[in-house]
Structure 1
Amino acid sequence: MINSRTAFLAAPVLMGAYGIIRIVDGLDGSRGPGPAWTLGHLCFLGALYFFVQGFTAMRTAAGGNRLSTVGLWAGTAGAVAVGVQFAIDLVVGFLSADRTAMEDLFTRIQDVPGVLPAFYDFGPLLFFVGQLILVCQLAKRRILKPWAPVLVLIDTTLPFAEKDLIPLGAVLLLVSFAPLYRSREVAAGAGTENRSGLARSR
């Protein structure tokens, strides 16, 4: 099993890598298809895997209560939705010769009933909602700093304002998650409420 200390570091770092590669990919005025498109999307899929690992440890550190469980399942469902979206992007990139062909294929896929709401419009929002719930739970228990939910909320809104700000959002997550990857008790997933209590008392 992945050490959750690694997850709390790897998830933001890989997300930031995606954001940087995305910027580089767009320097010629067009994003995808090509190696940068593929590498960037693989980085983000890796980030999603580590985020889900982190969500599981966060729920445990929060005591496994009902609200943290809702956060875990909402965040995981959202991660799956985002993962499907990025998997579609990868397939489209592999099957297309240029950006125009990509746009045509995207349109055909997104015209399939249910695809847009499930994987583009509403499904991905669950990822951000679940993450914010878990971070608020840990801030309430003083495992995370009181301002951590604010930074996570800012990270959530940045891509909607400007996707080129994704690397900045990744830095905010690294700052927010610092107590989690620095504390062996919390990041180990604890497994018991006693360990979570130890992390709270610090």
Structure 2
Amino acid sequence: MNPRSAFVAAPLLVMAYGVIRILDGLDGSRGPGLAWTTGHLAFLAALAMFVSTFLQMRRMAGRNTLSNVSATVGIIGTLALSTQFVIDIVVGFLSADRAGMGILFDRIQAVPGVSVAVYDGGPFLFYIGQLALVVQLAAVRRVKVWTPFLVLLDLLLPFVDKDLIPLGAVFLLVSFAPLAGQVSRTAEPVPAVV
């Protein structure tokens, strides 16, 4: 995939996940089923796009130590989230209903280290890496000064209510769309923005 497309595709796929998640819950229960699987596959595809965006943002930030660490942290978080979503898909396939899913999730999370690495700790690295890269881009004036605030809103809204994921994705799309135009500018200096 074209690296520029990843800046648009990632937020759109997160939005698709959020909308499908809402629709899946209209009957009072989420998963298992087609909506559960489709939504999770959309988010996995978004995570693949985020790896590309992290690498491009690292390049735009100057490939210095801080941007290298931030991108690495973000990619490690992406792997943790990907593992979580693959587990969710497999649990959905193996379960007849939501109660069965709960039993399997409890068993998986009881395995030492899984809860911290895949659910409670590892995924936060994705958000930390993403925000750190955007802040660095604002510091070197590759994005507007308000962009990190929109990204932060995107990251915080699901903690308020997961039904706000589509709204957060809109904020992320507004933040990322200008970056898509900068991907092709490899050696050209980019004018400062404020």
Residues 2-151 of structure 1 mapped to structure 2, 5 A cutoff: 2-151=1-150
User: Following TM superposition, by how much is the alpha carbon of 1:189 offset from its aligned partner in structure 2, in angstroms?
Assistant: 7.2
Q: 1:58/1:129 Cα in 2 relative to 1: closer, same or farther (>3 Å)?
A: same
* One-letter identity of the residue aligned with 2:136: Q
Q: Which residue of 183, 188, 191 corresponds with 2:184?
A: 188
1:1-41 CA distances to partner (integer Å, 9 max, x unpaired)?
x2221000000000000000000000000000000000000
Gaps of 5+ in 2: none
Question: Match for residue 199 of structure 1?
Answer: 190
Query: Residue 10 of structure 1 contacts residue 47 of structure 1 at CA under 8 Å; is this kept in 2?
Result: yes
Structure 1: distance between partners of 2:192 and 2:110:
52
Using the size of structure 2 for normalisation, the TM-score is 0.96
User: Following TM superposition, by how much is the alpha carbon of 1:95 offset from its aligned partner in structure 2, in angstroms?
Assistant: 0.4
Structure 1: distance between partners of 2:109 and 2:159:
20
* One-letter identity of the residue aligned with 1:45: L
RMSD: 1.1
* One-letter identity of the residue aligned with 2:146: W
User: Following TM superposition, by how much is the alpha carbon of 1:201 offset from its aligned partner in structure 2, in angstroms?
Assistant: 4.6
Report SS of the residue matched to 2:54: helix
Question: Match for residue 172 of structure 1?
Answer: 171
Q: What count of residue pairs does the alignment treat as equivalent?
A: 193
Structure 1: distance between partners of 2:49 and 2:97:
31
* One-letter identity of the residue aligned with 1:6: S
Structure 2: distance between partners of 1:103 and 1:116:
14
User: Following TM superposition, by how much is the alpha carbon of 1:140 offset from its aligned partner in structure 2, in angstroms?
Assistant: 1.1
Structure 1: distance between partners of 2:2 and 2:137:
19
Query: Residue 56 of structure 1 contacts residue 189 of structure 1 at CA under 8 Å; is this kept in 2?
Result: no
Gaps of 5+ in 1: none
* One-letter identity of the residue aligned with 1:143: R
Structure 2: distance between partners of 1:164 and 1:189:
36
Report SS of the residue matched to 1:39: helix
